[in-house]
Structure 1
Amino acid sequence: MEFALLGWPDDSHRLRLDYERFAYAGKFVMTSTGKAVVGDDGVVAAAAFDADHTDADTLCVRYITVRQDRQGERFGAELLRFVRGRAVQRGYDRVTIGVNNPFSYQAAYRAGFCFSGEERGLGELALEWPGDRDPVQYRAGLDLFRDRDLSEAEMSFLAEKRDADPPAVVPAPA
């Protein structure tokens, strides 16, 4: 798999994704965000990001989407870690992302992010890098999902993670 940074927000890059295969596909057509992708013979996952509106030293990952037929293969975590690495190279001190489901939460932890203890937007948990990988804080974030209307797969996942420690961070993409 190849990782590519398609452009920073100032580059006004558009990315057209198949809306039937990617969640949030329409968000990638906007030119106000930077874009990064991973793929081999086509895009498997994409990320959109820009500077935080209140802190110029923070990059905010707005969306990560993984093609439906490749979900669960850790492409989201690997792409998030790739974007984080490029953000650090560009001089950002902090990277944030908001997630709205336990699978995305786990993927962000695999990318080295940690739950900040804050909720924002419409049911998003705020995760940040760098952060505290304290197991109690990790489980506190998972607990916030337990009170939501979840799919059977999400409920099963949360049951498996009831007393778990944060997952290991995935290796950096080559």
Structure 2
Amino acid sequence: MEFALLGWPEDDHRLRLDHRRFAYAGKFVMTSTGKAVVGDDGVVAAAAFDADRTDAETLCVRYVTVREDRQGERLGARLLRFVRERARERGYERVTIGVNNPFSYQAAYRAGLCFTGEESGLAELTLAWPGDRSQSRYQAGLDVFRERDLSSEETSFLADKRERDPPAVLSPPA
């Protein structure tokens, strides 16, 4: 599995993903965001990111998508960790992402990001690195999702996570 940084926002990089296999595929054609990918048999996961418009020390991850047939392999979490490490190397003090479902929330936690207590956009919870990795903060974010109309898979997932500690942070990709 190879992780690659395709470019930073100023590099004007486009990435064409098959819209039948990737959610948010159209967002990766934009040239105003940086891109990172995971690949083995072609691109299996991608992330788009740019600097926060109000804080030059913060990198915002705008989208993470995993090819439909590769979901559940923790590729999104590993790619987000890869982007977090590249951002740190480039001098960013903070990395944020907005997530709108409990599976993305869990992936962001595995990448080392934590719930900030804030919501933004269209029902998105904001997670950031560095942050508070306490059980109470982790559960506070899950509680926000528990109040929503969810699929049976999401409801079952949240029930399994009740009163648990946050997941361990994955090691950075080699």
TM-score normalised by structure 2 residue count: 0.99
Instruction: Supply the distance in 1 between the matched residues of 2:41 and 2:160 (Cα, whole angstroms).
Output: 34
Paired position in structure 2 for 1:14 = 14
3-state SS in 1 of match to 2:137? helix
Paired position in structure 2 for 1:71 = 71
In the TM superposition, residue 108 of structure 1 has moved relative to its aligned partner by: 0.2
Count of residue correspondences: 174
Instruction: Supply the distance in 1 between the matched residues of 2:149 and 2:40 (Cα, whole angstroms).
Output: 35
Paired position in structure 2 for 1:2 = 2
In the TM superposition, residue 41 of structure 1 has moved relative to its aligned partner by: 1.6
Paired position in structure 1 for 2:57 = 57
Instruction: Supply the distance in 2 between the matched residues of 1:88 and 1:111 (Cα, whole angstroms).
Output: 13
Letter in 2 for 1:136: S
Ranges of 4+ aligned residues in structure 1 off by more than 2 Å? none
3-state SS in 1 of match to 2:103? helix
1:23 and 2:18 matched: no
In the TM superposition, residue 160 of structure 1 has moved relative to its aligned partner by: 0.2
Letter in 1 for 2:2: E
Paired position in structure 1 for 2:48 = 48
Paired position in structure 1 for 2:142 = 142
Instruction: State percent identity of aligned pairs.
Output: 79
In the TM superposition, residue 158 of structure 1 has moved relative to its aligned partner by: 0.3
3-state SS in 2 of match to 1:47? strand
In the TM superposition, residue 149 of structure 1 has moved relative to its aligned partner by: 1.5
* 1:134-165 alpha-carbon deviations (Å, 9 max, x no partner): 10010000000011121111000000011110
TM-score normalised by structure 1 residue count: 0.99
Residue correspondence of structure 1 range 71-150 to structure 2 within 5 A: 71-150=71-150
3-state SS in 2 of match to 1:16? coil
3-state SS in 2 of match to 1:160? helix
Consecutive unaligned residues of structure 2, counting only runs of 5 or more, are none
Paired position in structure 2 for 1:173 = 173
Instruction: Supply the distance in 1 between the matched residues of 2:130 and 2:17 (Cα, whole angstroms).
Output: 30
Letter in 2 for 1:42: G
Instruction: Supply the distance in 2 between the matched residues of 1:92 and 1:137 (Cα, whole angstroms).
Output: 23
Instruction: Supply the distance in 1 between the matched residues of 2:41 and 2:120 (Cα, whole angstroms).
Output: 36
